[in-house]
Amino acid sequence: MQNELNIASLQVDIIWENPQANIEKYSAMIDSISDDVDLVILPEMFATGFSMNPASCAETVEGFSISWMQEIAKEKQVAIMGTLAIKENNNFYNRLVFVHPNGETETNNKRHLFSYGGEDKVYTQGEDRIIINYKGWKINPMICYDLRFPVWTRNTNDYDVLIFMANWPKPRINAWDTLLKARAIENMCYTIGVNRVGIDGNNLEYIGHSQTIDMLGNVVSDSVENKEMIFETTLNKKELDKVRNKFRFLEDRDFFEVL
């Protein structure tokens, strides 16, 4: 069990549907992170941007981007996570990929597809929620639009950290800020949101607001500036357990089943 977990979140201007150029950018950024970082978080669809053209830009699980993630994880001895457009069995998925320092991967497909943007027309919905165990921490990874659905993210006392990787545009950034804080408070957990900046191929503007929030809703670190940057933060398990044991809010939760 590692009491402190050091996180490096990359807030970037994703180059539209250009995995090679994006990977080069991420590699340079990761070279500058602290040696004690345990986990690197990339935004949603980090290789392409939020593209609804998976037929032209999706990769397989043996593709370029996941291979790069495995190389970085082994070389830097860090875990790295983000989401990709993945083709598998003639379906396309917006897939979370978490790579451990030894190169082993864990994956999950996005549950809530953004129908307003047509995501449900081209991608296949995920059905399962996963909890990743890493250095004694239990991590619940979520993807962008999942943020709006508290039942799907509800903490049943099975995780410590909730992470949202996103392409969340400027017009709705107030919802992003508000819901991240709400998810942290109601689930008594650290909550991390990693968003992009810049303008994508659909002419949508993104202004970041990547942030880390503690179990009481306090912003621990953020990057509200509208620019590319890395922000590092340290999560403390003893502090998390202290607050949970004092208030015990999770013990009063409702019990339910997601169908």
- Per-residue 3-state assignment (H helix, E strand, C coil) for 207-235: ECCEEEECCCCCEEEEECCCCCEEEEEEE
Q: For 23-49, how does the pLDDT look when each residue is reduced to its tens digit (9 = 90+)? A: 999 999 999 999 999 999 999 999 999
Helix (H, G, I), strand (E, B) or coil at 106: strand
* Contact (CB, 8 A) for 188 and 174: no
Q: Which two tokens stand for residue 205?
A: 């503007």
Q: How confident is the model at residue 117 (pLDDT cuts 50, 70, 90)?
A: very high
Q: Using CA atoms, how far apart are residues 40 and 126, in angstroms rounded to an integer?
A: 23
| Residue 189 a catalytic site member | no
Whether 221 shows a pLDDT value over 90: the answer reads: no
33, with CB counted inside 10 A (0-12, 13-18, 19+), is middle
Whether 104 shows a pLDDT value over 80: the answer reads: yes
Q: Using CA atoms, how far apart are residues 150 and 20, in angstroms rounded to an integer?
A: 35
Q: Using CA atoms, how far apart are residues 122 and 48, in angstroms rounded to an integer?
A: 15
Whether 158 shows a pLDDT value over 70: the answer reads: yes
Whether 64 shows a pLDDT value over 80: the answer reads: yes
* Contact (CB, 8 A) for 51 and 89: no
Whether 193 shows a pLDDT value over 90: the answer reads: yes
Every domain of the chain and the residues it spans: 4-251
Catalytic choice (17, 25, 44, 106): 44
| Residue 251 a catalytic site member | no
Q: Using CA atoms, how far apart are residues 103 and 78, in angstroms rounded to an integer?
A: 10
- In whole angstroms, how far apart are CA 193 and each of 35, 96, 101, 211? 22, 14, 22, 5
* Contact (CB, 8 A) for 54 and 123: yes
Q: How confident is the model at residue 185 (pLDDT cuts 50, 70, 90)?
A: very high
C-alpha radius of gyration, the chain, whole number:
17
Catalytic choice (110, 119, 181, 189): 110
**pLDDT of res. 256:** 85
Whether 222 shows a pLDDT value over 80: the answer reads: no
Whether 224 shows a pLDDT value over 80: the answer reads: no
| Residue 110 a catalytic site member | yes
CATH homologous superfamily of 4-251: Carbon-nitrogen hydrolase (3.60.110.10)
Report the percent of the chain where pLDDT is more than 70.
99
Catalytic choice (17, 106, 144, 181): 144
